[in-house]
Amino acid sequence: MKIKNIAVLTSGGDAPGMNSAIFGIFSACQDNAINLYGVYSGFDGLIDNKFKLITFDMLDGRINRGGSILKSARSKRFKKPSYIKQAINNLKANKIDALIIIGGDGSTRAAIELRDSGVKVISLPGTIDNDLNFTYTIGFDTATNNIVNAVDNIMDSLSTFGYGTVIKIMGRKCPDLVKSCAKALHTKYTITKREFDIAPLIKSLKKNHDEYHLPPVILVLEDCVDCNELAKILEEKCKFPFRAHILGYVQRGGSPSAFDRKYAFSAGEYAVDVLLQGKHGFAVGMVDDLLTSKSFEDIIKF
Least distance to ligand F6P, CB of residue 128, Å: 6
- Rounded CA gap, 102 and 285, in Å? 11
CA 93 to mean position of chain CA atoms:
31
Number of shown-chain residues binding ligand F6P (CB under 6 A): 12
Does residue 170 belong to the site contacting ligand F6P (CB under 6 A)? yes
- Rounded CA gap, 259 and 142, in Å? 8
For ligand F6P, the closer CB: 129 or 141: 129
For ligand F6P, the closer CB: 222 or 269: 222
Q: What are phi and psi of 116, to 5 degrees?
A: -70, -15
Does residue 172 belong to the site contacting ligand F6P (CB under 6 A)? yes
Contacts of residue 151, Cβ cutoff 8 Å, sequence gap at least 6 = 165, 167, 181, 185, 217
Does residue 66 belong to the site contacting ligand F6P (CB under 6 A)? no
Q: What are phi and psi of 18, to 5 degrees?
A: -60, -40
Least distance to ligand F6P, CB of residue 70, Å: 16
Does residue 168 belong to the site contacting ligand F6P (CB under 6 A)? no
Does residue 222 belong to the site contacting ligand F6P (CB under 6 A)? yes
Does residue 104 belong to the site contacting ligand F6P (CB under 6 A)? yes
Please say if 129 is a catalytic residue: yes
Does residue 171 belong to the site contacting ligand F6P (CB under 6 A)? yes
Q: Taking the C-alpha atoms of 211, 212, 213 and 215 in order, what is their torsion angle to the nearest 10 degrees? A: -120
* Residue of 14, 44, 129, 176 marked active site: 129
Least distance to ligand F6P, CB of residue 34, Å: 30
Query: Judged by CB under 6 A, which of 44, 113, 129, 141 binds ligand F6P?
Result: 129
Q: Is there a contact between 110 and 101 (Cβ–Cβ < 8 Å)?
A: yes
What is the β-pairing status of strands 282-287 and 121-125? parallel
Least distance to ligand F6P, CB of residue 21, Å: 16
**Residues forming the active site:** 129
